[in-house]
């Protein structure tokens, strides 16, 4: 990945940070997009310590003007975009779906679905101008099965898979590879914030009997973004200890 450039949304934490480190170890320059300045800058620092060039762009993926700006600033700095980890997302307060407050539902759609769509639209169009690239969209186990009390989240993650497959079908001949990942529950800051009994119950429900670790997702994302995955396109890859097999 020497000399290549990756944009990672939600790069300030969890899967985004782990993947940034993994790609930096392979020589890629990194553009971190996040709403959190502090966390985003910390990831940039970690990438620079590995020896690559990295920038932080403070942007909200749900705002189309911010998305256009993170694309433009990355191209201005690095010349082109080779890899895109379309990953920023939020979960929800864990209420029964028919009791989900309207504004919460809307906020989740804005970040998870609109944010993913805007990213795909503006990054992929930029890649089309410069000869192609590879993209990984973060869906979820909740994108392949329903998750009680996370209805809005699950709906947006199903939608991301729909977008990913459709765009893969439309642009497969243009040297752009697009895949989605469906991670099960992983011990990222998002999940560590849940009550410990809930975390324990989630681990017990997984065939492998444990939750995932962010680096186990980052390993797969780095592979999918790399040329080693040159014939994987339009796929949804589960990384869930067997949870989707039940």
Ligand X SMILES: NC(=O)c1ccc[n+]([C@@H]2O[C@H](COP(=O)([O-])OP(=O)(O)OC[C@H]3O[C@@H](n4cnc5c(N)ncnc54)[C@H](O)[C@@H]3O)[C@@H](O)[C@H]2O)c1
Which listed residue (70, 118, 122, 153) is catalytic? Answer: 153
Q: Residue 153 catalytic?
A: yes
Hunting for tokens 């993994």 — which residue is that? Answer: 22
Q: How many residues bind ligand X (CB under 6 A)?
A: 30
Residue from 13, 134, 164, 238 in contact with ligand X (CB under 6 A)? 13
- What are 160's two structure tokens? 């991301």
Is there binding between residue 35 and ligand X (CB under 6 A)?
yes
- Find the shortest distance in angstroms from Cβ 175 to ligand X: 26
- Which residue lies nearer to ligand X by CB, 157 or 177? 157
Q: Which residue is nearest to ligand X (CB)?
A: 14
| Element housing 169 (H / E) | helix 151-171
39 touches 13 (CB < 8 A): yes
Distance between CA 183 and CA 176 in Å, rounded? Answer: 23
Binding mask 99-138 for ligand X (x = CB under 6 A): ------------x---x----------------------x
Is there binding between residue 156 and ligand X (CB under 6 A)?
no
Is there binding between residue 31 and ligand X (CB under 6 A)?
no
- What are 159's two structure tokens? 């939608």
Is there binding between residue 89 and ligand X (CB under 6 A)?
yes
Contacts of 136 (CB under 8 A, 6+ apart): 84, 85, 86, 87, 179, 180, 181, 221, 224, 225
Residue from 186, 218, 221, 243 in contact with ligand X (CB under 6 A)? 186
**If 0-12 CB within 10 Å is exposed, 13-18 middle and 19+ buried, where does residue 134 land?**
buried
E strand residue ranges, 186-243: 236-239
List residues binding ligand X (CB under 6 A): 9-10, 12-16, 33-36, 39, 60-62, 87-90, 111, 115, 138, 140, 183, 185-186, 188-191
């Amino acid at each position: 990945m020497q000399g290549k450039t990756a944009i990672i949304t939600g790069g300030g934490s969890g899967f985004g940070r782990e993947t940034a480190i993994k790609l930096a170890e392979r020589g890629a320059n990194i553009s971190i997009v996040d709403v959190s300045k502090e966390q985003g800058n910390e990831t940039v620092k970690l990438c620079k310590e590995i020896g690559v060039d990295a920038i932080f762009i403070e942007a909200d993926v749900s705002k189309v003007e911010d998305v256009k700006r993170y694309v433009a600033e990355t191209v201005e700095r690095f010349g082109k975009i080779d890899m895109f980890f379309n990953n920023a997302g939020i979960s929800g307060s864990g209420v029964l779906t028919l009791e989900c407050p309207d504004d919460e539902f809307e906020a989740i759609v804005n970040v998870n679905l609109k944010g993913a769509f805007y990213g795909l639209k503006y990054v992929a169009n930029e890649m089309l101008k410069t000869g192609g690239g590879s993209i990984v969209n973060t869906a979820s186990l909740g994108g392949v099965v329903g998750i009680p009390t996370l209805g809005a989240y699950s709906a947006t993650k199903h939608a991301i898979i729909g977008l990913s497959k459709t765009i893969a079908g439309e642009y497969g001949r243009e040297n752009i590879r697009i895949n989605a990942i469906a991670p099960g529950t992983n011990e990222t800051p998002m999940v560590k914030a849940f009550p410990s009994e809930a975390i324990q119950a989630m681990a017990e429900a997984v065939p492998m009997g444990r939750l995932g670790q962010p680096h186990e997702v980052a390993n797969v994302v780095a592979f999918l973004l790399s040329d080693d995955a040159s014939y994987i396109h339009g796929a949804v890859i589960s990384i869930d200890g067997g949870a989707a097999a039940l």
